[in-house]
Amino acid sequence: MTSDDLLARHRAVLPSWMPLYYAEPLELVAGSGRRVTDAAGRTYLDFFGGVLTTMVGHDIPEIREAVERQLRTGLVHTSTLYLIRRQVELAEKIARLSGIPDARVFFTNSGTEANEAALLVATNHRRSHQILAVRNSYHGRSYATMGVTGNRGWSASALNPLQVAWLHSGERLRGLLARLDAADRVDAAVEDLREVLATQTAGEVACLIAEPVQGVGGFVHGPDGLFAAWKKVLDEHGILLISDEVQTGWGRTGEHFWGYQAHGVTPDLLTFAKGIGNGFALAGVVGRAEVLESVPAISFSTFGGNPVSTAAGNAVLDYLLDHDLQGNAARVGAILGDGLRAATAGLDRVAEVRGKGLMLAVEFVHPGTVEPDAALTTRVFEACRAGGLLVGKGGLYGNVIRMGPPLTLTEDEAREGLAILVDAIRASIEA
Ligand code: PMP
């Protein structure tokens, strides 16, 4: 069976609104470390990890053994109505690491569900369904999480169950706050928040949900300290802050374990997903007991925190801490980021190389403007694949190349991928 057959069958049976990467979609069949192999036997360096999900790498013995050990017990699933040792252990570790005092942890199967749970908690705690969300954000594909996603391209429903007022993200390149320096952008974003509260909301507001670095949005972020400046205003009204750490958690940004820590503030609720399962479905929400306990009726999850995914989660977290992968993200991320900045300096098609740690993006524009160049971005994206490197694509205008490799990426692999990417950029600009 060729991948062509599979593509035809995929198109015949799966919904057309599920996007597939590449003009010739890729079927990956094996992985090892930071490399994956396709059905034709070609191997690629993986700088995307699914979408920042294969956090420790492919086929890591410690993770495989932990999962196999659980499978060998014969007990794959018990439901959360029973005591699950690995679930409790992982919750204890995450609660301790979260920085949230008196933390409680509720496990789910996806980032969407984690945010859905956080919104459920916040709206009940505040007895309000008014939400502040940020333009260019992505929080999931359920009814409520799409409602707080500030990107119409990813909000498959125009109907919103929540009342949402939109804030500027504090980004540097476009929009009302562009071209201001960092301190002025924080002030302007706070002014924007005050104005939105005064003019776009009425009565109580439940929460502000925000990503420290906007993932799907193309790794756009406001200045450090922005969340703290926002929180000062939120606290005047009792409004909760939800930090969506689905992409930014677990040390990926190199400088901190959680994205929110760059802002010098602790959120009321934190959501996590992706990397902690290293491919197994594992996600959740952490919050102060007083807040998380405000769900009005019993709630449970059939699969959330199941024995297999939490066996994986514990092994991933232990590996991450034992091997100081946050430190590696800072070190190797600097090689990749600095190298990319140096190689693209002076290219008028590259508006910006940005990001933190091993969460790095390049934004492509038409010369001398900030007008997005999605066609060039697609050429770069395809050229990377042809050169043996998998990266991601994103941004509000589809003009951003995103990289979120496993945090175990080595310096040699970073240099190897960088060379492929730089060649792809140069060739695509000349094409
Ligand atoms: N929040 C953020 C910041 C995300 O990037 C994503 C997934 N791209 C989600 C939530 C939703 O996670 P999931 O796909 O696991 O439902």
| pLDDT, tens only, 319-329 | 999 999 999 99
184 alpha carbon – ligand 1 mean position (Å): 30
What are the beta bridge partners of residue 165? Answer: 132
Q: Which atom of ligand 1 is nearest to the CA of 273?
A: 15
Q: Whose CA is nearest to atom 14 of ligand 1?
A: 111
Alpha-helical regions (H) of 127-274: 143-147, 182-200, 226-237
222 alpha carbon – ligand 1 mean position (Å): 19
Kindly report the CA angle at 85 between 257 and 106, in degrees rounded to 5?
Answer: 50
348 alpha carbon – ligand 1 mean position (Å): 32
Q: Cα–Cα distance between 286 and 269 in angstroms, integer?
A: 6
Higher pLDDT, 38 or 298: 38
Rg of the Cα trace of the chain?
21
**Any idea which of 15-19, 195-199, 311-315 has the lowest mean pLDDT?**
15-19
Whether 65-322 and 3-60+324-430 are alike in CATH topology: the answer is: no
Q: Which of 53, 138, 142, 270 to mutate to test the pocket of ligand 1 (most atoms within 8 A of CB)?
A: 138
Contact 407, 252 (CB under 8 A): yes
Instruction: Supply the mean pLDDT for the chain.
Output: 96
274 alpha carbon – ligand 1 mean position (Å): 8
114 alpha carbon – ligand 1 mean position (Å): 9
**Ligand 1 site: residues with CB under 6 angstroms?**
51, 110-112, 115, 138-140, 211, 215-216, 244, 246-247, 273, 283
Residues 6 or more apart whose Cβ sits within 8 Å of residue 316: 55, 56, 63, 275, 276, 277, 278
Q: Whose CA is nearest to atom 13 of ligand 1?
A: 111
Q: Cα–Cα distance between 389 and 420 in angstroms, integer?
A: 7
Q: Which of 18, 107, 151, 246 to mutate to test the pocket of ligand 1 (most atoms within 8 A of CB)?
A: 246
Mapped onto helix, strand or coil, the DSSP state of residue 140 is coil
Q: Name residue 396's amino acid.
A: L
pLDDT at 4 over 80: no
269 alpha carbon – ligand 1 mean position (Å): 16
Q: For 168-177, write each residue's pLDDT tens digit.
A: 988 889 888 8
164 closest CA partner among 198, 196, 124: 196
- Supply the DSSP symbol for 105: E
Q: For 202-224, write each residue's pLDDT tens digit.
A: 999 999 999 999 999 999 999 99
Q: How many CB atoms lie within 10 A of CB 131?
A: 27
- Determine the pLDDT at residue 115: 98
To the nearest 10°, report the CA torsion of 154, 136, 421, 251: -100
65-322 CATH, one of 3.60.15.10, 3.30.530.20, 3.40.640.10, 1.10.10.10:
3.40.640.10
210 alpha carbon – ligand 1 mean position (Å): 12
Q: Which atom of ligand 1 is nearest to the CA of 245?
A: 3
pLDDT band at residue 298, thresholds of 50, 70 and 90? confident
* CATH number at 3-60+324-430: 3.90.1150.10
Question: What region does 332 belong to: left with phi over 0, alpha with psi -120 to 50, or beta?
Answer: alpha
- Determine the pLDDT at residue 299: 84
- Determine the pLDDT at residue 157: 72
77 alpha carbon – ligand 1 mean position (Å): 24
Mapped onto helix, strand or coil, the DSSP state of residue 373 is coil
Contact 193, 167 (CB under 8 A): yes
Q: Cα–Cα distance between 397 and 361 in angstroms, integer?
A: 14
Question: What is the edge-to-edge ordering of all strands in the sheet holding 130-134?
Answer: 103-108, 283-288, 269-272, 240-244, 207-210, 130-134, 163-167
Residues 6 or more apart whose Cβ sits within 8 Å of residue 34: 45, 46, 57, 58, 405, 406, 408, 409, 410, 413
What are the beta bridge partners of residue 53? Answer: none
Q: Name residue 405's amino acid.
A: P
Q: What does pTM read for this prediction?
A: 0.97
Q: Cα–Cα distance between 186 and 230 in angstroms, integer?
A: 9
- Determine the pLDDT at residue 106: 97
Q: Which atom of ligand 1 is nearest to the CA of 140?
A: 11
Domain residue spans of the chain = 3-60+324-430, 65-322
162 closest CA partner among 206, 199, 193: 206
Q: Which atom of ligand 1 is nearest to the CA of 283?
A: 15
- Supply the DSSP symbol for 292: H
Q: Cα–Cα distance between 112 and 100 in angstroms, integer?
A: 21
Q: Name residue 225's amino acid.
A: G
State the complex-level ipTM.
0.99
- Determine the pLDDT at residue 1: 55
368 alpha carbon – ligand 1 mean position (Å): 33
Q: Which of 52, 109, 112, 243 to mutate to test the pocket of ligand 1 (most atoms within 8 A of CB)?
A: 112
To 10 degrees, what angle do helices 325-344 and 411-430 make? Answer: 30
